[in-house]
Structure 1
Amino acid sequence: MKLTLHAHQLELAHTFGISRERYDRQPTLIACLESGGKKGYGEATSNPYYGVTVEGLIKEIEKARSAVEAFPNTDPEAFYELLENLELTPFARCALDLACNDLHGKLLGKPLYAIWGTAARDLPVTNFTIGLDTPEKMVAKMQERPWPVYKIKLGTDRDVALVRELRQHTDAVFRVDANCAWTAGETLDNARALKELGVEFIEQPLPADDWEGMEQVAHGSVLPIIADESCIVESDVDRCGLHFNGINIKLTKCGGLTPARRMIRRGRELGLKIMVGCMTESTVGISAIAQLLPQLDYVDMDGALLLRSDIARGVVITDDAEVILPETGGSGVVLTADL
């Protein structure tokens, strides 16, 4: 396989805010693996919370270039074993794993969901994320993009009042994400108020390592609690099974589609609800997430919808929130930007 890497700056349509940061652009790395006249694409974004930069990812992957290009086939499971043996970090593994899966499916002429034996029907609707901002700006973002399900970013001392204000402007389902900003007591109190405001579930209310607090919340919350920062890699799923009602799997954090599918299987065994989320990826990363839709209860794959301009074609999410999966092989990604 031939490996190509390129860094790109994704410009957001609006400043995106969560409890710990705000940003206007998202640096991302696009990986391309080429073989047999086909090109497979993968993506991994930078992330300051996890100390990941695009420059660091490039340096890391370049050290593994010779081993990656010498790999004799495109079998994703076998290729992922190579990536683990090379001791690449999960974000680097993600870019390459997504590219290998896309290439593998394109060479077979089948979309990944079909290769995995799943059918593209009864797919969950992606939420559209409203970043943390002033109430006026958050309302304006909702009005700009009418949607059936919103994820509301929280993490202030006025969170319930904020959701109450947003509720006056839409009947859509709400999900809220505090990004580790609450205490156990706040979570229990907020959950009671938020349930009355039509909130479906709460995502990661406590710091990722506050397992004692999460045990208290797990036994007392009137709303389901979904793990995000507490569920990064495969080994986290079992512990989350004792403290959460569901898990939000991020491909970049866990290492790609290959480990994500294993996490889904284990989560199901533990009776957890399964969600896959995004990290403001372009359509390259979002199209990979879309292949998992038949296996999910919830999905947050609005990353490309938040961009001012995209760099690829693949999965289509219509203005009516309908998902149209590519009929081409793999993830169905075609680059449109000059990389």
Structure 2
Amino acid sequence: MRRLDIRIERFPIRGAFTISRGSKTEAEVVTLRLSEGGLTGWAESVPYKRYGETLESVTGQIEGIRVELEAGASRADVGRLLPPGAARNAVDCALWDLEARQQGLPAWQLAGLKEPKPVTTAYTLSLDTPEAMAEAARNAPGTDLLKLKLGGENDLDRLRAVRDAVPEARFIIDANEGWDFQTLERLAPLCADLGVVLIEQPLPVAEDHLLTRGRYPVSICADESCHTSEDIERLADRYDAINIKLDKTGGLTEAIRTLDSARSHNLEVMVGCMVGTSLGMAPAVLLTPYAAFVDLDGPLLLNADRSPALCYQRGQIVPAQSGLWG
């Protein structure tokens, strides 16, 4: 019989993390452990405030299926017992880790995926004044791919300031639904000239219908608009790319389905994250061989990561046998 352990943990953020919807100073995560036969699989998830999730609601969802989990529920069972979201992510990824340890195989092999290789991750700059964002860009830890949180009146000034500070860098812009259509029409051509390679979720979800795939010189990526594989067909003629986050899909199992669907529609894939520790990033690393863009910098934004942790070197995630997960 399995044993389930659920904990709430908090990891201070270096400074503050600010987007168009607000700011926070710590990563609040739900850590789940499933133990069976002397082995333990574990995982981490971050409740999505944008969708009404809280630490209490996520732990409550998991507690609600404790009996089934401890009786041996499978990943397929969990997909029926829980909706997509942070609770299912923690359970699904803990089950992947437990199975990998039980079989003595890496999780990427169990999942039928390519072996992850060193990959460049974006580094996120919080929404701030142009001067502060330029300074943050100069101090970024060794990557040439920066993700700028935007969504304010002076966004073009912010972008130009960062461009001047790091003229060789490439940029992902993330407005977190903070632009309107007129702003997108005005800024997209200018973004292309300033080194932007991707614009993430510029419009509110309810305004997706205004978008047309291939309309702009910079690819437009769905984030808040895309949760699971069921969303792909609806978005395929509007967006050029999708951002897969395991806290949206509800774990690695559905993330793989979402990846497969996106590729079948010739959409570019970005693998993203919430602000969390290496434990939250590790399952998402399995998708990176298929991604055009990787944004798994959560641990770099923290004062301190878990131990063991993923290996970050000069802007790259370097897969290592640390025993962390999978």
Band of TM-score, shorter chain: over 0.9
- Decide whether aligned partners of structure 1 residues 328 and 306 sit closer, same or farther in structure 2, where only a CA change above 3 A counts: closer
TM-score by length of 1: 0.90
Quote the residue 2:103 is aligned against: 108
SS in 1 for 2:229: coil
Quote the residue 2:182 is aligned against: 185
Quote the residue 2:43 is aligned against: 42
- Decide whether aligned partners of structure 1 residues 249 and 327 sit closer, same or farther in structure 2, where only a CA change above 3 A counts: same
After superposition, residues 22-37 of structure 1 pair within 5 angstroms as 22-37=23-38
Q: How far off is 1:212 after superposition?
A: 2.2
- Decide whether aligned partners of structure 1 residues 31 and 202 sit closer, same or farther in structure 2, where only a CA change above 3 A counts: same
Quote the residue 1:165 is aligned against: 161
Match of 2:134 among 131, 135, 139: 139
Residues 114-158 of structure 1 deviation map (CA, whole Å, 9 limit, x = unaligned):
333444366541100001011222122222224210000110111
**Sequence identity (%):** 31
Q: Does 1:242 align with 2:216?
A: no
| AA aligned opposite 1:6 | R
- Decide whether aligned partners of structure 1 residues 183 and 91 sit closer, same or farther in structure 2, where only a CA change above 3 A counts: same
Quote the residue 1:227 is aligned against: 222
After superposition, residues 192-271 of structure 1 pair within 5 angstroms as 192-215=189-212, 218-271=213-266
- Decide whether aligned partners of structure 1 residues 307 and 42 sit closer, same or farther in structure 2, where only a CA change above 3 A counts: same
Q: How far off is 1:299 after superposition?
A: 1.1
CA contact (8 A) 1:317 1:323 kept: yes
SS in 1 for 2:274: coil
Output the CA distance in 2 between the equivalents of 1:111 and 1:94.
19
Single out whichever of 133-142 and 297-306 deviates more from structure 2. Answer: 133-142
Output the CA distance in 2 between the equivalents of 1:190 and 1:182.
10
Quote the residue 2:72 is aligned against: 71
Match of 1:153 among 149, 156, 173: 149
CA contact (8 A) 2:82 2:88 kept: no
- Decide whether aligned partners of structure 1 residues 16 and 329 sit closer, same or farther in structure 2, where only a CA change above 3 A counts: closer
SS in 2 for 1:229: coil
Unpaired runs of 5+ in structure 2?
none
Q: Does 1:307 align with 2:302?
A: yes
SS in 2 for 1:52: coil
Q: Does 1:285 align with 2:287?
A: no
- Decide whether aligned partners of structure 1 residues 57 and 230 sit closer, same or farther in structure 2, where only a CA change above 3 A counts: same
Quote the residue 1:317 is aligned against: 312
SS in 1 for 2:13: strand
- Decide whether aligned partners of structure 1 residues 60 and 86 sit closer, same or farther in structure 2, where only a CA change above 3 A counts: same
SS in 2 for 1:152: strand
SS in 1 for 2:121: coil
CA contact (8 A) 2:116 2:319 kept: no
- Decide whether aligned partners of structure 1 residues 329 and 291 sit closer, same or farther in structure 2, where only a CA change above 3 A counts: farther
Q: How far off is 1:278 after superposition?
A: 0.3
Output the CA distance in 2 between the equivalents of 1:243 and 1:69.
43
CA contact (8 A) 1:123 1:293 kept: no
Q: How far off is 1:234 after superposition?
A: 2.1
Single out whichever of 135-144 and 303-312 deviates more from structure 2. Answer: 135-144
| AA aligned opposite 1:67 | E
Output the CA distance in 1 between the equivalents of 2:84 and 2:263.
26
Unpaired runs of 5+ in structure 1?
73-78, 333-339
TM-score by length of 2: 0.94
CA contact (8 A) 2:130 2:161 kept: yes
SS in 1 for 2:199: strand
Residues 5-39 of structure 1 deviation map (CA, whole Å, 9 limit, x = unaligned):
10011210021111111111121100011123221
| AA aligned opposite 2:164 | Q
Q: How far off is 1:88 after superposition?
A: 4.5
SS in 1 for 2:321: coil
Output the CA distance in 2 between the equivalents of 1:326 and 1:7.
27
How many residue pairs get aligned? The number is 323
- Decide whether aligned partners of structure 1 residues 89 and 298 sit closer, same or farther in structure 2, where only a CA change above 3 A counts: closer
Residues 34-70 of structure 1 deviation map (CA, whole Å, 9 limit, x = unaligned):
1232211111112321111111111221121011010
Quote the residue 1:298 is aligned against: 293
| AA aligned opposite 1:278 | C
Quote the residue 1:54 is aligned against: 55
CA contact (8 A) 2:29 2:46 kept: yes
Output the CA distance in 2 between the equivalents of 1:91 and 1:116.
20
C-alpha RMSD of the superposition:
1.7
